[in-house]
Amino acid sequence: MKNEIAEAIKELAGLALMPFIIGKVESVDGRTCTVNPVDGGAAIENVRLNAYTDGNKGIVITPKKDSFVIVGMLDEVDAMVLMSDEVEIIEAIIANTSFKMSDGEMLFNGGGNGGLIIVANLVDKMNAIESKLNDVINTLKTVTIPLAPSGTYPLATDFGDMTVLSETSTSDIENEDIKH
């Protein structure tokens, strides 16, 4: 009797518990999927992968085909994937910013700017270039060009004020807020 009263109060207050179904993903189509309940019930079609199925916004976690999911029934017809044991793609779109992750790949804003640099490799490459440029500057400071008939012309007058470059350090170019 006590449980019946509690359930009646929840239902009157709009707090009825959402029924959950465990199922296996049969297919995925955009922002919806079809799920076959493990209890042998009828397939549930057009199961939402997020709250908004039209357009591109929000967070979408796309389950892999044949993965197990927990589906929450919003009403007798509408359902939503709440959890998945295997994920194919995670996508987040906030205004003009997007992130998409799948096996072996992460894309920020469509990936049009290419891959992220590997900071240690870039620092090594920049330091090698800086070292060679410093060698050229130091050599040019010591070169004297023989001129006929008046004598010589020292390049130090042209390059004497040029200072050598300091080596690049990781902290000069690294954004520690984003790591890969």
Task: State pLDDT tens for residues 53-94.
Answer: 667 788 999 999 999 999 999 888 899 999 999 999 999 998
Q: Are 106 and 100 in contact (CB under 8 A)?
A: yes
Tokens linked to 154: 């020292």
Q: 26 and 107, same structural domain?
A: yes
Place of tokens 């390049």: 155
Q: 156 and 77, same structural domain?
A: no
Task: State pLDDT tens for residues 124-140.
Answer: 999 999 999 999 888 88
Range with the poorest average pLDDT among 22-26, 156-160, 168-172: 156-160
Amino acid at 42: A
CATH number at residue 6: 2.40.50
Report how far residue 11's alpha carbon sits from residue 59's, in angstroms, rounded to the nearest whole number: 30
Q: What domain range includes position 71?
A: 2-111
